[in-house]
Amino acid sequence: MSEDTTTAAESNGDALENLLTENRQFPPSADFAANAVVKAGEYEAANADRAAFWGKQARELLSWTKDFTKTLDWSNPPFATWFDDGELNASYNALDRHVEAGNGDRVAIYFEGEPGDTRTYTYAQLTEEVKKATNAFEALGVSRGDRVAVYLPMIPEAVITLLACARIGAIHSVVFGGFSAEALRSRIDDAEAKLVVTADGTFRRGKPSSLKPAVDEALTAPGHTVEHVVVVKRNGEDVNWVEGRDLWWDDTVSTASTEHTAVGHPAEHPLFILYTSGTTGKPKGILHTTGGYLTQTAYTHKAVFDLHPETDVFWCTADVGWVTGHSYVTYAPLVNGATQVIYEGTPDSPHQGRFWEIVEKYKVSILYTAPTAIRTFMKWGEDIPAKYDLSSIRVLGSVGEPINPEAWMWYRRVIGADKAPVVDTWWQTETGAIMIAPLPGVTSAKPGSAQTPLPGIAVDVVDELGASVPDGHGGYLVIREPWPAMLRGIWGDNERYKSTYWARFDDMYFAGDGAKKDADGDVWLLGRVDDVMNVSGHRLSTTEIESALVSHPSVAEAAVVGAADETTGQAVVAFVILRGSAVDDPDIVTTLRNHVGHEIGPIAKPKTILVVPELPKTRSGKIMRRLLKDIAEGREAGDSSTLADNTVMNQISDSLKA
Ligand code: WT7
């Protein structure tokens, strides 16, 4: 590792500390274990022959229009294929087949809008809506392999759009609504999207919040590939309209035919691209394909959440703009025939009990949310959830960042009535589906640990040289064998795919996370070891924010670090060297924060911007972010002996005192 890279231990000292003292364990109750979907024997059977195990899951969980004869092909690493000669349709698997099996009247989606409007879709109704959207998109010239950019709020039309694309075999590329026009533009261009599906806007804390203007701005640049923009009317705001290009959803989709027969697509046909931050400035278009992705998302949804689709009500609070909203909102719950809740808004709108009101109203039995939300609820106080009937809850999931043991304990005790198992699920945009998590009916749970690689998944923790570390030691998290939902590459950049994930260690996938095995061999995640930050479970690149800052004429140089933050996990702290007269501008910090918001999106705005005279650099010119992180976290700066100029740290601290 280079001298300026943060180590796993440094990046999450708290987790390490807790790990040393954590010895509480929560085995499943006898009752839960007896009724669990997945029992203990699963690990042995799966790990004896992983490919065969996944082949069995693929046939049991999915309907294929053409059966496969091959499971895994790893003859050309790191490019895997799964179920290669099989064919299936993702949309058919999520919809039609449930109707054909007599479950058309089962509720697929309970939608709760932020202003309190509600809609319910049965499987039969949702199937009809998706068929209409499919016909409408096809009429606009979208066909198999075309890319469709999606810039929508968390409303049913988002799920309908994705499933319509999947039905056609068009590749969806969702851009989170919190990203800027500029971020949207670069993603539309990289994927060469033909169609954009958006909305006039959404609601945020009772106020309208617009989306369409960002699409208009993104499409002002010449040479883009977009032919049409379909606009869902959601918040009723006035929108700018480009005749011939823009179409209302209500005029195109709502009037389309409800007849559409799905055809099978090859198992390795691309299902979607989803951009995520890496260690360089340019986001990576993570590519997922159909058969393996659906197999592992469906299996993990069933196994990790102990899903009983006839009786459970599942609620994953993630936005469709993130991979969690793809795998555990759009695909797995519907493929598994489950009933789920979709909520448009924020947890505090119009009051801080909104989540618990929704749990009570829809009798949510499985809740899947993020540690940052849990820590926020803790801060708001337990008297708020205490006002609601949460007795329907029987499984609680966590995802996105390490969950500190105290948050885990609070989640179980306050939300789970001291009995619902908490499953901490580790995975990434790249892994497509959950990789490490306890099985609620099997595992004796430990607060703060994701614990065990799932059946059929080969995870390890290794040292610098790639050797497996013994129990009780820490290192880098790797995945030793290909898995069905693994990314198939980075859109348009096979070299970057190889160098990012497969070059660090021979024949192993490098996840970018630090981890530790405890005395029992359970895995504890310790945060990123690269230049990726995790703010409220959102992945942000230090380099990307630095690039945004230096693109402003007032900034000469910038360095960004993720500083530990009690609520958001990490917070973005930027150190900037200003140019010329900007030094005297009293509004410069606000200007720069807004500039980052405009370049990347509001979620990337630095919490703190510190104006400094110099940045600490090594002799080779690399910024030593480790030292800046010390300052950002209020510590004495560590060893600075490798700095090119060892007076720099004093200059910085003097300037900050001034
Ligand atoms: C990174 C991936 C997986 C969907 C949401 C995030 C961190 C994720 C956990 C967890 C500790 C976690 C990792 C990972 N992360 N889940 N349970 N415990 N860390 O997806 O945006 O691709 O981010 O999130 O650092 O590498 P993503």
Shortest-distance Cα residue to atom 1 of ligand 1 = 428
Q: Annotation-wise, does 429 bind a ligand?
A: yes
Cα(488)–Cα(430) distance, integer angstroms: 9
Query: Which residues on adjacent β-strands are paired with residue 122?
Result: 107
Q: Given the structure tokens 């806007």, which residue do they identify?
A: 201
Shortest-distance Cα residue to atom 19 of ligand 1 = 401
Alpha helices in 366-513 (DSSP H): 371-380, 383-386, 405-410, 494-497
* pLDDT of 370: 96
Q: Annotation-wise, does 317 bind a ligand?
A: no
Q: How far is the CA of 400 from the centre of ligand 1 (A)?
A: 4
Please check the confidence at residue 18 and state whether its pLDDT lies above 70: no
Phi-psi region of 107 (alpha: psi -120 to 50; beta: other; left: phi over 0): beta
Q: How far is the CA of 607 from the centre of ligand 1 (A)?
A: 21
Counting Cβ atoms within 10 Å, is residue 220 exposed (0-12), middle (13-18) or buried (19+)? exposed
Residue 178 makes CB contacts below 8 A (sequence gap 6+) with: 321, 601, 602, 603
Please check the confidence at residue 15 and state whether its pLDDT lies above 70: no
Cα(615)–Cα(645) distance, integer angstroms: 10
Q: Annotation-wise, does 555 bind a ligand?
A: yes
What's the mean pLDDT in 427-455?
Answer: 97
- CA distances for 209 relative to 174, 205, 234, 591, 604, angstroms: 18, 9, 10, 21, 18
Residues with CB under 6 A from ligand 1: 276, 322-324, 399-402, 424-429, 450, 511-513, 525, 528, 534, 537, 539
Cα(429)–Cα(283) distance, integer angstroms: 12
* pLDDT of 455: 98
What's the mean pLDDT in 552-580?
Answer: 93
**Tens of pLDDT, residues 273-294:** 999 988 777 889 999 999 999 9
First to last CA, the chain: 35
Three-state DSSP at 557 gives strand
Please check the confidence at residue 7 and state whether its pLDDT lies above 60: no
Pairing mode, strands 195-199 and 147-151: parallel
**Tens of pLDDT, residues 55-72:** 999 999 999 999 999 999
Length of the chain: 658
Q: Annotation-wise, does 206 bind a ligand?
A: yes
* pLDDT of 12: 46
Residue 482 makes CB contacts below 8 A (sequence gap 6+) with: 72, 74, 77, 80, 82
Nearest ligand 1 atom to alpha carbon 427: 3
Residue 219 makes CB contacts below 8 A (sequence gap 6+) with: 185, 188, 196, 226, 229, 242, 245
Residue 300 makes CB contacts below 8 A (sequence gap 6+) with: 332, 433, 434, 437, 454
Nearest ligand 1 atom to alpha carbon 511: 26
Pocket test of ligand 1: the residue of 284, 326, 424, 428 to mutate, having most ligand atoms within 8 Å of its CB, is 428
Shortest-distance Cα residue to atom 6 of ligand 1 = 400
pTM of the model: 0.92
Cα(275)–Cα(285) distance, integer angstroms: 4
Which of 262, 260, 258 has its CA nearest to residue 88?
A: 262
* pLDDT of 6: 41
Q: Annotation-wise, does 234 bind a ligand?
A: no
> By percentage, how much of the chain surpasses pLDDT 90?
85
Nearest ligand 1 atom to alpha carbon 398: 17
The answer to whether 320 and 158 are in contact (CB under 8 A) is yes
Counting Cβ atoms within 10 Å, is residue 524 exposed (0-12), middle (13-18) or buried (19+)? buried
Which of 4, 61, 80, 96 has its CA nearest to residue 619?
A: 4
**Tens of pLDDT, residues 586-642:** 999 999 999 999 999 999 999 999 999 999 988 777 888 889 999 999 988 888 888
Q: How far is the CA of 658 from the centre of ligand 1 (A)?
A: 38
Please check the confidence at residue 585 and state whether its pLDDT lies above 90: yes
Shortest-distance Cα residue to atom 18 of ligand 1 = 402
* pLDDT of 257: 98
What's the mean pLDDT in 483-488?
Answer: 98
Please check the confidence at residue 506 and state whether its pLDDT lies above 90: no
> By percentage, how much of the chain surpasses pLDDT 70?
97
Q: Annotation-wise, does 539 bind a ligand?
A: yes
Q: How far is the CA of 410 from the centre of ligand 1 (A)?
A: 21
Pocket test of ligand 1: the residue of 422, 534, 535 to mutate, having most ligand atoms within 8 Å of its CB, is 534
**Tens of pLDDT, residues 291-349:** 999 999 999 999 999 999 999 999 999 999 999 999 999 999 999 999 999 999 999 99
Query: Which residues on adjacent β-strands are paired with residue 272?
Result: 172, 288
Pocket test of ligand 1: the residue of 434, 525, 541 to mutate, having most ligand atoms within 8 Å of its CB, is 525
Q: Annotation-wise, does 281 bind a ligand?
A: no
Please check the confidence at residue 543 and state whether its pLDDT lies above 70: yes
Q: Annotation-wise, does 226 bind a ligand?
A: no
**Tens of pLDDT, residues 361-382:** 999 999 999 999 999 999 999 9
Shortest-distance Cα residue to atom 12 of ligand 1 = 401
**Tens of pLDDT, residues 167-215:** 999 999 999 999 999 999 999 999 999 999 999 999 999 999 999 999 9
* pLDDT of 568: 92
**Tens of pLDDT, residues 109-138:** 999 999 999 999 999 999 999 999 999 999
Q: What is the largest CA-CA distance in the chain?
A: 74
- pLDDT mean across residues, the chain: 94
Q: How far is the CA of 88 from the centre of ligand 1 (A)?
A: 29
Q: Annotation-wise, does 204 bind a ligand?
A: yes
**Tens of pLDDT, residues 369-423:** 999 999 999 999 999 999 999 999 999 999 999 898 999 999 999 999 999 999 9
Please check the confidence at residue 159 and state whether its pLDDT lies above 50: yes
* pLDDT of 180: 94
Counting Cβ atoms within 10 Å, is residue 63 exposed (0-12), middle (13-18) or buried (19+)? middle
Counting Cβ atoms within 10 Å, is residue 143 exposed (0-12), middle (13-18) or buried (19+)? exposed
Pocket test of ligand 1: the residue of 6, 277, 401 to mutate, having most ligand atoms within 8 Å of its CB, is 401
Q: Annotation-wise, does 536 bind a ligand?
A: yes
- More confident: 271 or 622: 271
Nearest ligand 1 atom to alpha carbon 430: 22
Q: How far is the CA of 279 from the centre of ligand 1 (A)?
A: 15
Query: Which two three-digit tokens encode residue 162?
Result: 């994705």
Q: Annotation-wise, does 98 bind a ligand?
A: no
Cα(290)–Cα(308) distance, integer angstroms: 24
Alpha-carbon torsion 342, 344, 345, 350, what sign? negative
Q: How far is the CA of 426 from the centre of ligand 1 (A)?
A: 6
* pLDDT of 1: 35
Shortest-distance Cα residue to atom 7 of ligand 1 = 401
Cis bond leading into 350, ω under 30°? yes
Shortest-distance Cα residue to atom 13 of ligand 1 = 401
